[in-house]
Structure 1
Amino acid sequence: MLWSLSFALLLWNPSVSNAQGSNKAQQYSFDNLPTVKGTAFKKDTINILSYGAKNDGITLNTKSINAAIQAMSKKGGGVVVIPAGLWLTGPVELKSNVNLHLQKNSLLQFSKDFKQYELVKGNWEGFPQMRNQSPIWANQEVNIAITGFGIIDGGGDAWRMVKRDKLTESQWKKLLASGGIVSEDKKIWYPSALTMKGSKMKDAGKISPEKTPEFYESIKDFLRPNLMVLNRCKQILLEGVTFQNSPAWNLHPLMSEDLIVRNVYVKNPWYAQNGDGIDIESCKNVLIEGSTFDVGDDGICIKSGRDAAGRERGMPTENVVIRNSTVYHAHGGFVIGSEMSGGAKNIFISDCTFIGTDIGLRFKTTRGRGGVVENIYAKNINMKDIAGEAILFDMYYAAVDPVPLTGEQRLAPKVELLPVTEETPIFRKFYIQNIVCDGASKAVFIRGLPEMSISDIYLDNLVIKADEGVDIQEAKNIHLTNAHLDIPGAKPLLYIQNGKSINFKNIDYTNAELLLRVSGAENKDLKISDTGTTKAKVLSEFTHGAKPEVFEIKKTKK
């Protein structure tokens, strides 16, 4: 069966009130979108019981499962069945033309014995690195699938370090009683001394000539694998299965093409460090639908390599459709970055719900990345109980949790103008509409760089209840249209720092101590129209070199 991205978007209509935005949105919505090639398998079936597998939770079934997969692939393909039961195993390698099918009440449990996982050359956060072999992996395979109704458990709790501030007192005491080592400041628990040793090194897993096999062995426990890595594969289907408890990222398709993820459940403890749901890295032609994510880091994330290594790879993630999915706990519901040095384009997310995530729509990068992120569309997104920003664009990503822990102090980044180079990231052409958010710390945050403004963002039809309003810094050609902001006593409701061509139209709000604050000497062409002013005690305020003449009220209403 062929799944057409063009067909998938027949109901998509990312029109924007602004005429310029509408034309651009139409241009990128329907033209030249490729198809996602589906998988197809023979009906031939092998049950892993035929290869000696035992579901007693004690027998290690690594050889049995892999032998069944290899035999089926050599026969030309078909279905390898994992029946009901608890199946203990080491790493499983997927092979071309094989559908690994988990029947109801099946649990594929990956061993917590680190000796089962060889150290291999892999990729971590956009860099080539030495890692432990992923529990599920495939390299340059074609027409592969994991389907069914069972659960795949990565045994991640044996690998992950844990921050004390993310557990209750009783949970922390239970963790300490299980063994492991605690840091000198008593704030981090490590599963082993090798994990602790690796954590104290910069780029510990980075592959370099001076590092010997003995060195990597000395920090082996720290080099956590992703639960599933599919490297340079084509025609992939993940359907119906639960993926949970990963050592690091959960699902990691890397430099792959034609991926369908349907009706999966991706689950990690909320305190799971680096416990991302799915990281789509340098992939082309992707459809994610009907899936649920409840994890310890970013939920659904787009990546394309990091810094010089990502730019050299030069493979953007492109042509991605995400729809009818739910994200519960996560650092971000839908995320692009921060490792996006190869670029990202033609990404469409619609009809999704985020509940309890730190940030709703999260777009992040930083100096040094380079890369271009453009033609991003989001529509019909519902959010509830967002701890941070409902919508965030930030080019000062600092590799920390998006919401500070209790008592944690963070300084604002130093603002300085640097030369534009290949290391300067570019964010542009975002079209976001029909967003409803019931509760957030801040409604919208947009922060570019002095040398590279975020540009061409069209936000239309937003209803957001939050503690703070809209914050726009170092940005140009930003359009906020048809927004209801429920932010009682906002001071200010709208903030602009060094913005150019910023347009607010038809903004409804509860009330405000201050409607607009403008800061900085580089502001130009700021407009508000079709917006009432009587509910604001003070209309505008200009600071740090901003001049009143850059601001224009075109039309007002009560």
Structure 2
Amino acid sequence: MLFAGAFAQPKHTPNNPAAKAFAGKIMPQVKQVAFKRDTFNIAHFGAKGNGQALNTVSINNAITACNKNGGGVVTIPTGIWLTGPVVLKSNVNLHINRDAVLLFTKDFDQYPLVEGNWEGLPSARNQSPISGKNLENIAITGSGIVDGNGDAWRMVKKDKLTESQWKNLIASGGLLSEDKKTWYPSEKTLKGSQTKQPGVLLNGKTVKDYEDIKDFLRPNMVALTSCKKVLLEGVTFQNSPAWNLHPLLCEDVTVRNVQVKNPWYAQNGDGIDLESCKNALIENSTFDVGDDGICIKSGRDEEGRKRGVPTENVIIRNCIVYHAHGGFVIGSEMSGGVKNMFVSNCTFVGTDIGLRFKTTRGRGGVVEKIYIANINMKDIVGEALLFDMYYEAKDPVPLAGEKREAPKAEIFPVTAGTPVFKDFHISNVICTGAAKAIFVRGLPEMNISDIYLDNMVIKANKGMECTEAIGVHLNNVQLITNNTSPVISINNSSAITFDGLKYPDGIDLLFSINGDKTKNIRVNNTSLTSAKNKAEFANGASEQSLTIN
């Protein structure tokens, strides 16, 4: 007998707030899993839930028996079940009871180096705590906890801990960097941090070449590769060594009602990275992590372009993201492209950036047809909305005392490595606090283009900065800023329109318009009497570039 996991996908109806925003768009359909009711309790295979016995063999034997039986449910019952790597098999639902913890061992010897993937490149990695490859009809369900024991693996920056936490970390063992600002759990981890392209399996390199830095090659906690019909539901996934959830080259992925947690200092501690996947649904889930929250990827640089598999046809709705580098993120590894994203009814609280779209020269790839509606944000540390083609692989918000200079504007030839950002539609956004409301920065040789921002109220210290963009349209947008001039800065951009723009009374300067490439800036249905100065022009920009109707 079969039962459906996750049931049928809810459809957008006229009562759904996202229906209007996405009207006329064909919504992705995600196929669902189904399993036999046969149940295999890991305790019947010799597993002991006392937190001390290592249950790797017992758990994997239960999964194998379930698979050979034609599938069913492998149950993790009450207890703390210490284990090494668990390998999923087709037609198996790994079900973790509410009062159960699947705890992965700190013993690195239990995790052999294997051929894997890291940030879009083929790489040697320690075997993931939970993995599956070329499978179909698989699930991890229940309401228990999967804990990756990530603190045993990760390096930690001093600036991200309190003084007491830092002293306790040093007292636990490990080593410090030469400048005493980063803690490493082992010599192999420290050595790996000093190695160029650590773990990358290119130019004849093999897994064996990286044994001397093994500890540095932290695994993603749940790594599912080339799988079809995947369900993650109800479980708390926490404390991952690197990324938490990583579906790669998968189809028909459903993530529902999960909790994803990492310490805020967890370097590379992403929530979910959906990479080169087709047809996915992420809903009703909560993320509180150390890096990006909900992230879309498709491979990195030339290797990602060779793979050539975009992430496409994805619905993300009714999710909450607390601490994270970004709430909803695309990039920076998006070399295979990203398209047909539908994000709605999400809330970001305390994230470094709200909506974060990042890339850099060398990536290539096209990001397009991105539809986002009904987003609430509170206490955003950096930008509420960020489009940036100069990503530098640094934390989005500088640490105390850290100085960063803006990149030098240079024109490079357009090649296969030139990334493209275009066709973004974002509506109904409320933000009650951010450092900057909107930041758009394209490349001189490849401007960001066709961004539509509708119906927004954003309270931020600073307003909008737009550089090297074509076709940015703001309709009914209110920017509530401090009296920091200007409210809007436009640099070497064209076809920028503002319709129904609102801003604080008495502002010193509304527009700063710069650059000889800047032209065709139009302002409609906007009162300009509240600004002491409407516009200033510099660096080759002329007054003819601005039209006020």
User: Which TM bucket (shorter chain)?
Assistant: over 0.9
The Cα of 1:92 is off from its aligned counterpart by: 0.3
| 1:440 corresponds to 2:421 | no
Range with greater deviation from structure 2 (211-220 or 536-545): 211-220
Q: One-letter code of the match for 1:252?
A: H
| 1:274 corresponds to 2:278 | no
Q: State the alpha-carbon separation in 2 of the partners of residues 210 and 112 from structure 1.
A: 31
Q: State the alpha-carbon separation in 2 of the partners of residues 12 and 313 from structure 1.
A: 36
Q: Residue 341 and residue 529 in structure 1: after superposition, are their counterparts in 2 closer, same or farther (change >3 A)? A: same
Q: State the alpha-carbon separation in 2 of the partners of residues 495 and 223 from structure 1.
A: 43
The Cα of 1:76 is off from its aligned counterpart by: 0.2
Q: Which residue of 2 aligns with 1:385?
A: 379
The Cα of 1:485 is off from its aligned counterpart by: 1.2
Q: Which residue of 2 aligns with 1:22?
A: none
Q: CA offsets per residue over residues 160-196 of structure 1, 9 Å max, x none? A: 0000000000000000000000011000000000000
| 1:534 corresponds to 2:538 | no
Q: Residue 230 and residue 418 in structure 1: after superposition, are their counterparts in 2 closer, same or farther (change >3 A)? A: same
For 1:59, what is the secondary structure of its paired residue?
Answer: coil
> Would you say the 8 A contact 1:44–1:79 is kept in 2?
yes
> Would you say the 8 A contact 2:460–2:481 is kept in 1?
yes
Matching residue within 408, 411, 422 for 2:402: 408
Q: State the alpha-carbon separation in 1 of the partners of residues 162 and 207 from structure 2.
A: 39
Q: Residue 461 and residue 116 in structure 1: after superposition, are their counterparts in 2 closer, same or farther (change >3 A)? A: same
Q: One-letter code of the match for 1:524?
A: K
> Would you say the 8 A contact 1:86–1:106 is kept in 2?
yes
Q: Which residue of 2 aligns with 1:552?
A: 547
Q: Which residue of 1 aligns with 2:58?
A: 64
Q: Which residue of 2 aligns with 1:7?
A: 11
The Cα of 1:14 is off from its aligned counterpart by: 7.1
The Cα of 1:528 is off from its aligned counterpart by: 0.8
| 1:172 corresponds to 2:176 | no
For 1:194, what is the secondary structure of its paired residue?
Answer: helix
| 1:142 corresponds to 2:146 | no
| 1:298 corresponds to 2:292 | yes
Matching residue within 304, 310, 317 for 2:311: 317
| 1:162 corresponds to 2:166 | no
Q: Which residue of 1 aligns with 2:517?
A: 522
Displacement over 6 Å in runs of 4+: 2-6
Q: Residue 213 and residue 403 in structure 1: after superposition, are their counterparts in 2 closer, same or farther (change >3 A)? A: closer
For 1:490, what is the secondary structure of its paired residue?
Answer: coil
Q: State the alpha-carbon separation in 2 of the partners of residues 227 and 8 from structure 1.
A: 33
> Would you say the 8 A contact 2:12–2:18 is kept in 1?
no
The Cα of 1:215 is off from its aligned counterpart by: 3.2
Q: Which residue of 1 aligns with 2:334?
A: 340
Q: State the alpha-carbon separation in 1 of the partners of residues 146 and 37 from structure 2.
A: 23
Q: Which residue of 2 aligns with 1:375?
A: 369
Q: 1:31-110 counterparts in 2 under 5 A?
A: 33-110=27-104
Q: Which residue of 1 aligns with 2:195?
A: 201
The Cα of 1:123 is off from its aligned counterpart by: 0.3
Matching residue within 421, 424, 427 for 2:418: 424
| 1:465 corresponds to 2:459 | yes
| 1:394 corresponds to 2:388 | yes
Q: State the alpha-carbon separation in 2 of the partners of residues 133 and 13 from structure 1.
A: 40
| 1:492 corresponds to 2:496 | no
The Cα of 1:208 is off from its aligned counterpart by: 3.6
For 2:51, what is the secondary structure of its paired residue?
Answer: strand
Q: One-letter code of the match for 1:516?
A: F
Q: State the alpha-carbon separation in 2 of the partners of residues 213 and 466 from structure 1.
A: 48
For 2:36, what is the secondary structure of its paired residue?
Answer: coil
> Would you say the 8 A contact 1:350–1:380 is kept in 2?
yes
Q: CA RMSD in A?
A: 1.4
Q: State the alpha-carbon separation in 1 of the partners of residues 410 and 13 from structure 2.
A: 42
The Cα of 1:13 is off from its aligned counterpart by: 5.1
Q: CA offsets per residue over residues 379-421 of structure 1, 9 Å max, x none? A: 1100000000000000011110000001100010010111111
Q: CA offsets per residue over residues 91-134 of structure 1, 9 Å max, x none? A: 00111001000111100000000000010000000000000000
Q: State the alpha-carbon separation in 1 of the partners of residues 136 and 208 from structure 2.
A: 35
For 2:528, what is the secondary structure of its paired residue?
Answer: coil
Q: State the alpha-carbon separation in 2 of the partners of residues 386 and 111 from structure 1.
A: 35
Q: One-letter code of the match for 2:525?
A: D
Q: State the alpha-carbon separation in 2 of the partners of residues 191 and 534 from structure 1.
A: 60
Q: If the length of structure 1 is used for normalisation, what is the TM-score? A: 0.95
Unaligned runs of 5+ in 1: 17-24
Q: Which residue of 2 aligns with 1:21?
A: none
Q: State the alpha-carbon separation in 2 of the partners of residues 68 and 115 from structure 1.
A: 23
Q: Residue 211 and residue 13 in structure 1: after superposition, are their counterparts in 2 closer, same or farther (change >3 A)? A: closer
The Cα of 1:302 is off from its aligned counterpart by: 0.2
Range with greater deviation from structure 2 (137-146 or 33-42): 33-42
Unaligned runs of 5+ in 2: none
Q: CA offsets per residue over residues 237-269 of structure 1, 9 Å max, x none? A: 100000000000000000000000000000000
> Would you say the 8 A contact 1:14–1:377 is kept in 2?
no
> Would you say the 8 A contact 1:6–1:34 is kept in 2?
no
> Would you say the 8 A contact 2:458–2:479 is kept in 1?
yes
Q: 1:215-294 counterparts in 2 under 5 A?
A: 215-294=209-288
Q: One-letter code of the match for 2:433?
A: G
Identical amino acids, percent of aligned pairs:
62
The Cα of 1:473 is off from its aligned counterpart by: 0.6
